[in-house]
Amino acid sequence: MTAGAIRHPGEIYLVVRTRSILACVIHWVLFCSVVTLAVTGAYIAWPSYYFGKGEAYATFTMADIRYYHFLAATFMMTSLLVRFYLAFTESCHKDIKQFLPTPRNIKNAVQLAYHFATGRGKHPHYRFVNPLGGLGIFLISASLFIMVCTGFLMYLPAETPGTIWHSWAFSIAHSLGGLQIVRLIHHVVMYVIIALVLIHVYMQIWKNSVYTESDISSIIAGYKLFPLRQIGHFADYYGIKLREKPPSTEEMDSASEPVPAREPPG
């Protein structure tokens, strides 16, 4: 559970393993993919903004940018699928239910949001993913799924007429109101993802500056810092069962070690 201890005046901190290296790698592959998709998507939507008037295809720039866009989408979809699979395995502590918008997660997320916004209320410590961050990841993942679907709907109608992919894409796009509506949805959701990512990054920097949990380092190296007195009081709950009772106060107290009193200097 721990890899070492760091002592500060009046407190003992433990270095706690929270994520596997594979989970960290998947996170950064997904992050780089989303950034690449946003940049290349902006060029595909407004090529004249970058090169002035005229057709971008004259220098094959559009073809190159579309290639990078599709390549980043491939990495993004692969990362999401792998992480979704790992969420049901022990390597990621079966944390699938920490990302689901269950009533319990929504309630705890609201409590955390209130605490972060006002400095008041409860601030339970989570070893892995807190409910507020989990719901944020859920919203980002759902938005990315919409982006994949609308992206394919805009691309597949350009396939050879008469193929099954062309027929399906054309029918679905037509039922949504046409390709322009699909394109509008694609663009609007892109701004939603950008806003969610910016909020996520800001929250991690803010939490890393105010608290000792060091969330940023945990997604780079897989470790967090926790005071020894909090080790038995993690609010996480694990396993696939959605109805799991949290440990009692007595069980949490027995799992924590008392912090020795600090002797006055001299």
Q: Which helix (DSSP H) or strand (DSSP E) does residue 255 occupy?
A: helix 249-255
Angle, helices 179-210/164-175, rounded to nearest 10 degrees: 80
Q: Which two tokens stand for residue 200?
A: 């996520």
What does the pLDDT look like over 69-114, one tens digit per residue? 999 999 999 999 999 998 888 878 778 888 888 888 898 889 888 8
Which residue reads 């057709």 in tokens?
A: 55
Res. 49 pLDDT band, cuts 50 70 90? low
**Range with the poorest average pLDDT among 30-34, 38-42, 45-49, 190-194:** 45-49
CB atoms under 10 Å from CB of 166, counted, come to 15
Phi-psi region of 222 (alpha: psi -120 to 50; beta: other; left: phi over 0): left
CA angle 65, 61, 33 (to 5 degrees): 15
DSSP-assigned states of every residue in 98-161: GSS--HHHHHHHHHHHHHHHHS-S---B-SS--HHHHHHHHHHHHHHHHHHHHHHHHHGGGSPT
**The pLDDT of residue 80:** 93
Return the biggest CA–CA distance within the chain. Answer: 88
Look up residue 228 and give its two tokens: 């020894």
Strand order in the sheet with 11-17: 2-8, 11-17, 223-227
Task: Indicate the domain borders of the chain.
Answer: 19-93
Beta-bridge partners for 8:
11
Q: How far apart, in whole angstroms, are the C-alpha atoms of residue 180 and residue 160?
A: 20
d(CA 131, CA 236): 9
More confident residue, 88 or 170: 88
Choice among 116-125, 142-151, 167-176 with the minimum mean pLDDT: 167-176
Tokens of 166: 């062309």
Q: Per-residue pLDDT for 158 more than 70?
A: no
> Do 89 and 199 meet the contact criterion of CB atoms below 8 Å apart?
no
Whole-model pTM?
0.77
